[in-house]
Structure 1
Amino acid sequence: MAPPITELSERARDIFRATVEAYLDSGLPVGSRTISRLPGFNLSPASVRNVMQDLEELGLLAAPHTSAGRMPTDFGLRLFVDGMMHALEPSSEERAAIESRAGEAGSIEEALSNTTAALSGLSACAGMVMVPKREMIVRQFSFVPLSQDKALAVLVGEDGGIENRVVDLPPGMAPSALVEAGNYLTATLAGSTLAEVRARLVRRIDAERNALDAAARALIERGIATWTQDGDARPVLIVRGQARLLDEAASEDLERVRLLLDELEGKQEIARLLDSARDGEATRIFIGSENKLFALSGSSVIAKPVRALDGQVVGVVGVIGPTRLNYARVVPMVDFTAATVARLLG
C-alpha cells in the first residue's frame, strides 16, 4: 500500500504533481524529459525517470505498454485529488453561463435540462442532475385515441410541462366518452395536484355516478390509477452532453468511449450511483475502478448533493468524464451548479 502523500520526499511529491497535472492537461503519458524541462526542475531526465520508477512501484504511476511515458493510476489520481489539488473557482463568465441557462423560461424540468447542458459544455463532460419527481399543478387533462383498445392520456401542467401515459380503453369506448372523460378531469383537477384530488375524485365519481357515462367513469378511474402506479417519488434524471465525451483524445480510445456511452444508457444504475452521493456533505468523486458502474470504461464521476434552505437534500448534480478530466476546475463548477439548482427548486 502506498504511503500518504505527506510521507513522500519533496522531490517525489513535485515530480508526482507535475506528472499528474501534465497528464490531466494532455490525456497522454508523460515522459521524464517533459518533466525535466519544466520550470523549477533542475534535474536530468534520468533523475526524473528514477523517481517515476519509485512512484510506479508505489502504485501511483503506471507505464502503458505503448509508451515510455507514465500516467497516474486510479489510486494515484485519488491521492492527488485528496491531498494535492488546488481548486479553481469558476470564472464570472462560467457562473453567468450557468445562471443564464437556469433562468431561461420554461418548466422546472426544462430549466434543469438547460442548466445541465451548460455544465456539460463548460466541463467538457456529460452533465447529470437527479431530483425528486415534482407532481405538477394540472391545467388540462385529455385522452387521444390510439386504437380501438388504447388511448394516450395527456396531462398538461400550469408550468407548460406535459406528461403522457398509454391507457387501456374499456370495451366499446365511444369517441364522445373520451372527450367527456377529459373534460371532467380538467374541470376536477385544474389548479390542483394529482395527490390532492385523488380521494376527492373517487367521492365525486360515486356521487355523480348517474351523470357520467359508465365507460367515461371507467376511463377516468384507469387514467388516475396509471399515474398513481407510476410512482410519484420516481426521480427525474437528466443526462446531457454525451457527445462531449467524443473529444480528440478519445479517437485513440474509441472502445472506452463506446463502453461509457453504453453505460450512460443505464438510467436506473446512474440514478443509484448519484443517490449514493446524497448522504455526503461535500462533493463526491468516484475515480475509475472505484465505481463499479463505470469501471469498464475507466471513467470518473463528480457528484454534489443539492440542499434546500432547510438543509434537506433535494437532489444531486454531477458530471461523468474520462479519469483525466480537470478535477481542479470541474469540482468547483459542479459545486456552483448544485447551488444554482437548489435555488431553482426553491
Structure 2
Amino acid sequence: MATTPISDMDDRTRDVFRIVVESYIDSGAPVGSRTISKTSDLNLSPASIRNVMQDLEEIGLLAAPHTSAGRMPTEQGLRLFVDGMMQVAELSQEERAAIETQLNGNGPIEDALAAATTALSGLSACAGVVMVPNREPKLKQCSFVRLSDRQILAVLVGEDGSVENRLIETDAPLPISALEEAGNFITGRFAGRNLSEAFSAMGEEIARERAAIDSASADLVARGIATWSKDSAARPVLIVRGQANLLDNEAVADLERVRQLLGELEEMQEIASLLDSAREARSTRIFIGAENNLFSLSGSSVIAAPYRDGQGRVVGVIGVIGPTRLNYGRVVPMVDFTARSLTRLLG
C-alpha cells in the first residue's frame, strides 16, 4: 500500500496524525477522537477528528485494535512520523554526563562498552546492545603442541600479551619436528602482522618457502592460520544490557510479545547481523517492527549507530531494542551521542 507523504496532507490531517502518534508513544494506548478534542487546541469536534482518523486508517497509517477503541499508528505510520515529523530532542547535561562518565577510565574497551551500554539502557528504558569490535592483536609468537596422534593445539601469543588457543584435527600423526617447524615458520614470517594480514599473505609465503618447509609443516601452517581467521570472523561479540526494561507496565498486558522478544534476544548471531547492517549508516538507523525479520513477530524496534576507531573505520555498532512505541525523538540522540562518544574514546 502506497503511503501518503507528509507534504500531501492538509494541516488538519497532519495535526491529527501527529497527536495520535505522540499520544500513543507517550501512553502506549490507542487515542480516541473525544480525547483529542478535549486535550488539544485543534478546535475540531470529535466527529471531525473521527473522520480524519478514519481517512488515515484507510491509507494504512492508523489502526483500531478494537471496534470501540481509539486509533494507534501502524508500523507504516510510525515510519512516516519518524522520517517526516519527528522532533529530535536535545540531551540534557545530566544525560550526557551519565554516558560520558562510563567512558572514562583506562580499563579494557569491553568494560567501557558494557558500562556505556548499561547507561544507555537505563536512560532510554530499553535493552541496550553493542557489537564489540573484533580485535586482532599483532602476532608475537606461535607454537603447536601435540595432544594426541590426531589432535594439535595451536597457541597464538599476541604483542599485547593475549593468548588464544585453537584445536586442530589432523588426518595422520605429525612428528614433533613438523610442529616446531610450523611454529617457527609462522613466528618468523608473520610476527608483527594481524591474522587477516597473515591469512592474505599465507599462500604466497608458503609457495615461496616450499623448499624450506616440508609438506606436513606447510599444511599445519595453512590450517592453523585459517582456523584462527575463520573463527574470529564467525564470532561476533555482543553485550546486551537492560532486558528487564522490556517488562514495563504496558508489556505485562502482552506477555506473549515479551516472551517472543526475550527469545529473539537470545539469537546473538541474528542480532549481530542486524546491527551489522547499520555499519554503513552515516549516523543513526531506525528499524521499526517488521522492517527487520528478527523482531517482526514481537513488534519491536531497533535504533543503532556505528562507532569508529582513530582511523575513521567503523569497528562496531551500539543501539537499543524496545517496543515500537518507544520515544524515537528522545532515544535517537542518546544512541547518536553514545556512538560519537565511543568514537572519541577510540580516537
TM range (shorter): 0.7 to 0.9
Which residues of structure 2 form unaligned runs of 5+? 173-183, 207-211, 213-219
Q: Deviations over 1:68-124 (max 9, x none)?
A: 111100110011001111001221111111111122442112221221221111111
Q: Deviations over 1:301-334 (max 9, x none)?
A: 1121223455432322222111000000111111
Question: Which secondary structure does the structure 1 equivalent of 2:252 belong to?
Answer: helix
Partner of 1:123: 124
The offset of 1:194, in angstroms, is 6.4
Partner of 2:313: 312
CA distance in 2 between partners of 1:333 and 1:158 (Å): 36
CA distance in 2 between partners of 1:104 and 1:316 (Å): 21
Partner of 1:254: 255
Q: How many residues align?
A: 339
Partner letter of residue 275 of structure 1?
A: D
Taking only the aligned residue pairs, the percentage that are identical comes to 64
CA distance in 2 between partners of 1:106 and 1:141 (Å): 27
Which residues of structure 1 form unaligned runs of 5+? 172-183, 208-218
CA distance in 1 between partners of 2:237 and 2:227 (Å): 20
Partner letter of residue 238 of structure 1?
A: L
Q: Which moved more, 1:20-29 or 1:43-52?
A: 43-52
1:36 aligned onto 2:32: no
Residues 53-202 of structure 1: matches in 2 within 5 Å? Answer: 53-65=54-66, 68-136=69-137
CA distance in 1 between partners of 2:158 and 2:95 (Å): 32
8 Å Cα contact 2:198/2:225 also seen in 1: no
The offset of 1:237, in angstroms, is 3.3
Partner of 2:286: 285
8 Å Cα contact 1:30/1:71 also seen in 2: yes
Partner of 1:178: none
CA distance in 2 between partners of 1:310 and 1:158 (Å): 20
The offset of 1:43, in angstroms, is 2.4
Change (3 A) 1:309 1:110: closer
Partner of 1:211: none
Partner of 2:238: 238
Question: Which secondary structure does the structure 2 equivalent of 1:42 belong to?
Answer: coil
8 Å Cα contact 1:120/1:240 also seen in 2: no
Question: Which secondary structure does the structure 2 equivalent of 1:37 belong to?
Answer: helix
Question: Which secondary structure does the structure 2 equivalent of 1:130 belong to?
Answer: strand
8 Å Cα contact 2:156/2:164 also seen in 1: yes
Question: Which secondary structure does the structure 2 equivalent of 1:59 belong to?
Answer: coil
Change (3 A) 1:268 1:236: closer
Change (3 A) 1:108 1:292: same
8 Å Cα contact 1:126/1:239 also seen in 2: no
Q: Which moved more, 1:115-124 or 1:189-198?
A: 189-198
CA distance in 2 between partners of 1:96 and 1:40 (Å): 37
CA distance in 2 between partners of 1:265 and 1:155 (Å): 30
